[in-house]
């Protein structure tokens, strides 16, 4: 009576009477973690969602209530281009990320009238500044520029080597598409 032959697991839970199934599961987990870490630290895509190659986005942000003097200084810096328009975060310049243009519009403020209605009127001492920017991102899901996620309606700091405005609001965000080679 040789009942052991032909059984996959014996009475002690060993595979073919030799290997414990728990040991196999632990070994497979160790191998999976090692492969994941190897791919992560060699900068290869692990196949996880959102881990794509570097891509670019173009986005705009508005900063409300800026003095005309500050706007003029920023406009002059943007006109210089180069390192004057390169975005930065955490004290480091962000490669492939820059302010493309800057414009202004009169700042409008709600003024209450005697009859209780509110009328929008231009506030002469301030302008609203609109920035158009392009930036490299590593992850199309989080769309981080430096340490900031770029999403419509989210607050945003616009920072270069020569200027910084901290109360911006993202207005638009589009992926940059390149035309196919002819």
Q: Which residue has the higher pLDDT, 20 or 14?
A: 20
**Length of the chain, please?**
182
Q: Is the predicted pLDDT of residue 134 greater than 90, yes or no?
A: yes
Clarify whether residues 62 and 35 are in a common domain: no
Q: Which residue has the higher pLDDT, 58 or 12?
A: 58
> How would residue 54 be classed by pLDDT, with cut points 50, 70 and 90?
confident
Clarify whether residues 104 and 126 are in a common domain: yes
25-37 residue pLDDT tens:
888 999 999 988 8
Clarify whether residues 24 and 77 are in a common domain: no
Clarify whether residues 63 and 150 are in a common domain: yes
Clarify whether residues 5 and 37 are in a common domain: yes
Q: Is residue 181 part of a domain?
A: no
77-127 residue pLDDT tens:
999 999 999 999 999 999 999 999 999 999 999 999 999 999 999 988 999
Q: How many domains does the chain have?
A: 2
Clarify whether residues 59 and 37 are in a common domain: no
Q: Is the predicted pLDDT of residue 63 greater than 80, yes or no?
A: yes
Closest CA to 130 of 162, 94, 172, 176: 172
Q: How far apart are CA 76 and CA 69, in angstroms?
A: 11
Q: Is residue 49 part of a domain?
A: no
Strands of the sheet with 164-175, listed across from one edge: 86-89, 92-112, 118-137, 55-66, 164-175, 155-159
Clarify whether residues 17 and 92 are in a common domain: no
Distances (CA, A) of 1 to 4, 6, 16, 163, 167: 9, 12, 17, 87, 83
Clarify whether residues 70 and 4 are in a common domain: no
> How would residue 135 be classed by pLDDT, with cut points 50, 70 and 90?
very high
Name the pTM for this structure. 0.68
Clarify whether residues 35 and 100 are in a common domain: no
Q: What's the domain range around 155?
A: 55-175
């Amino acid at each position: 009576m040789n009942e052991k032959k032909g059984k996959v697991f014996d009475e002690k839970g060993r595979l073919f009477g030799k290997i414990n199934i728990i040991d196999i599961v632990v070994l497979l987990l160790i191998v999976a973690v090692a492969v994941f870490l190897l791919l992560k630290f060699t900068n290869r895509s692990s196949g996880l969602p959102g881990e794509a190659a570097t891509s670019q986005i173009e986005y705009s942000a508005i900063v409300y209530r800026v003095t005309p003097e500050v706007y003029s200084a920023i406009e002059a810096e943007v006109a210089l281009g180069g390192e004057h328009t390169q975005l930065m975060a955490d004290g480091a310049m962000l490669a492939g990320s820059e302010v493309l243009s800057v414009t202004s519009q009169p700042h409008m403020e709600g003024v209450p009238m005697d009859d209780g209605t509110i009328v929008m009127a231009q506030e002469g001492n301030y302008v609203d500044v609109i920035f158009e920017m392009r930036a490299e991102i590593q992850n199309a899901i989080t769309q981080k520029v430096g340490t900031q996620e770029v999403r419509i309606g989210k607050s945003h700091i616009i920072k270069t080597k020569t200027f910084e405005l901290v109360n911006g609001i993202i207005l638009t965000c589009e992926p940059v598409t390149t035309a196919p080679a002819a």
